[in-house]
Amino acid sequence: MVNMVNNKELTESFMEFAKSKGIDRPTMISVLEEVFRTMIRKQYGTDDNFQVIINPNGDLEIFHYRQIVEDNDPEIAVNPNLIGISEAKKTQSDFEIGEEFAEPIDIIKFGRRVVQTGRQTLIQKIKDLEKSNLYEKYKDSVGEVIVGEVYQIVGKDVIITDGEGNELLLPKSQQIPKDRFRKGETAKAVIEKVELINGAPRIILSRTSPKFLERLFEQEVPEVFDGQIIIKKIVREPGERAKVSVESYDERIDPVGACVGMKGSRIHSIVRELNNENIDVINHTDNLELFIQRALSPAKISSIKIEANGRVSVYLKPDQVSLAIGKNGLNIKLAGKLIGKEIDVWRDIDESELDEEDIDLNEFNDEIEGWMIDELRKIGLDTAKSVLALSRNDLIRRTDLEEEQIDEILEIIQREFEDQEEDETEE
């Protein structure tokens, strides 16, 4: 129920509401003027010929300017902007036909329904302003880190509020797999995207973006923040492993040592924030072969060949192959992304070390498709026995092959050895 108050009291109540929403005074005055014009349109069907004045002290003045016409003018009945001479002279006796009559309007006389409409209009306009302000605040902040409070968990998405209570979205797809959030705790993320959907701003946060890791380095490593150390590139498998190439233009600064910190103090802070994501910091170089060696660390490479098709073949001793590939194939996968080339791993074996009974995978190209053989070579498997040395589950996990394809390959290879054994038995 709306209590009836005078113009000033109504204006003050509207202004107080706008002020509580953090609206600056010039904007507030502009909003209130439009609100009152909405009330006028509701009452008269138009706000033409009306003047709305909101004084700094909160006084509201509304004037309806009407033209004075003859009392018997038929237009008076249909045009609210006309007034008869007799009616006008009740206010001022010396009025004449054709003059302008300024009628002060008491907006409270519009009735409760119109005043309620004004309140609803004000609330809606404030909401629209808040949306606009939120978009303006964040649209140029993409890539910046924000620390907020976990406000709500909806399904697997997390809503985080900033210091002003604005709601920001951290979708499941932008969370590190090991992230576990609880309401009320503090969360840190980077602003990934700011978009308008049907006029409503949506601020998307990310903890999986390489930019988030870059910002964490800036926070923890003063030399990165100051620009003495440049982060050239970051590649990540969020929550598992990341590779960061860094470079310093000051020969006195060891970029890797500075990023890692004394006894790992700097890198440990970043690792903890990323739920123990393993981070390799690599000294960037334009020497591609040296860069590849560093990218595949801790594996020791015997030799490297840059292929004509742009791929890279690396040859390693058998005991180094698993180090180069890494857990779940992440080391070689991220190394390839870091250098920007596909890496193929080959075992470097002396002829004296070869198993005479083993078979090169290329000999199966009439039964196994070439691209499948390439997938096996990517993880260092270039002979039949090297494939059989791994379990079915390991092959599924470490390659991009489907289960059915792995089963087919294993069956073909195993059958070949069975056939060999049969031939030897017959002899």
Q: Is residue 114 part of a domain?
A: yes
What domain count does the chain have? 4
Predicted local distance difference test score (pLDDT) of residue 365 = 83
Q: Residue 293's closest CA among 238, 338, 233?
A: 338
8 A C-beta contact, residue 181 and residue 266: no
- Bond before 298 cis per omega within 30 degrees: yes
Q: Is residue 248 part of a domain?
A: yes
Domain co-membership, 56 together with 30: yes
Domain co-membership, 223 together with 110: no
Predicted local distance difference test score (pLDDT) of residue 213 = 97
Q: Is residue 315 part of a domain?
A: no
Domain co-membership, 262 together with 225: yes
Mean pLDDT of the chain: 85
Q: What is the CATH number of the domain that holds 232?
A: 3.30.300.20
Residue 414 has pLDDT above 90, yes or no: no
**Residue 9 pLDDT level (bands cut at 50, 70, 90):** low
Rounded to whole angstroms, what are the CA distances from 271 to 185, 219, 254, 265, 326? 19, 13, 20, 10, 19
Residue 29 has pLDDT above 90, yes or no: no
Please state, in angstroms and rounded to a whole number, the distance separating the CA atoms of residues 350 and 333.
27
Domain co-membership, 71 together with 164: no
Predicted local distance difference test score (pLDDT) of residue 5 = 46
| Boundary residue ending a domain (135, 168, 194) | 135
Return the minimum-mean-pLDDT range out of 175-179, 372-376, 403-407, 422-426.
422-426
Q: What is the pLDDT of residues 203-227, one digit of tens each?
A: 999 999 999 999 999 999 999 999 9
Predicted local distance difference test score (pLDDT) of residue 26 = 75
Domain co-membership, 247 together with 279: yes
Q: Is residue 325 part of a domain?
A: no
Residue 316 has pLDDT above 70, yes or no: yes
Domain co-membership, 392 together with 417: yes
Q: Which helix (H) or strand (E) holds 213?
A: helix 210-220
Domain co-membership, 60 together with 154: no
Classified as helix, coil or strand, 195 is strand
Please state, in angstroms and rounded to a whole number, the distance separating the CA atoms of residues 308 and 305.
9
Residue 319 has pLDDT above 60, yes or no: yes
Q: Residue 13's closest CA among 155, 145, 119?
A: 119
Q: What is the pLDDT of residues 100-159, one digit of tens each?
A: 988 888 877 777 787 777 778 877 877 777 777 788 888 888 999 999 999 999 989 999
Predicted local distance difference test score (pLDDT) of residue 218 = 95
- For residue 371, what are its two tokens? 């691209």
Q: Is residue 241 part of a domain?
A: yes
Domain co-membership, 173 together with 254: no
Predicted local distance difference test score (pLDDT) of residue 426 = 53
**Long-range contacts, 121-127 (Cβ 8 Å, 24+):** 121/34, 121/35, 121/38, 121/39, 122/14, 122/17, 122/18, 122/31, 122/32, 122/35, 123/17, 125/31, 125/34, 125/35, 126/17, 126/18, 126/21, 126/23, 126/31
Helices (H) and strands (E) in the chain, counts: 15, 15
Name the residue type at position 357: E
Q: What is the CATH number of the domain that holds 386?
A: 1.10.150.20
Predicted local distance difference test score (pLDDT) of residue 185 = 94
Q: What is the mean pLDDT of residues 271-289?
A: 94
Classified as helix, coil or strand, 202 is strand
Residue 352 has pLDDT above 50, yes or no: no
Domain co-membership, 421 together with 361: yes
Q: What is the mean pLDDT of residues 304-320?
A: 85
Residue 35 has pLDDT above 80, yes or no: yes
Q: What DSSP designation does 3 have? A: P
Predicted local distance difference test score (pLDDT) of residue 132 = 78
Q: Which range of residues forms the domain containing residue 373?
A: 355-426
Q: Is residue 327 part of a domain?
A: no
| Boundary residue ending a domain (119, 135, 151) | 135
Please state, in angstroms and rounded to a whole number, the distance separating the CA atoms of residues 305 and 64.
87
**Residue 349 pLDDT level (bands cut at 50, 70, 90):** low
Please state, in angstroms and rounded to a whole number, the distance separating the CA atoms of residues 269 and 409.
45
Predicted local distance difference test score (pLDDT) of residue 243 = 96
Domain co-membership, 127 together with 14: yes
- For residue 411, what are its two tokens? 């069956």
Domain co-membership, 241 together with 164: no
Domain co-membership, 127 together with 13: yes
Outline where 45-92 has alpha helix (H). 85-89
Q: Is residue 233 part of a domain?
A: yes
| Boundary residue ending a domain (284, 314, 332) | 284
- Which percentage of the chain shows pLDDT scores above 70? 90
Q: Is residue 316 part of a domain?
A: no
pTM of the predicted protein model: 0.65
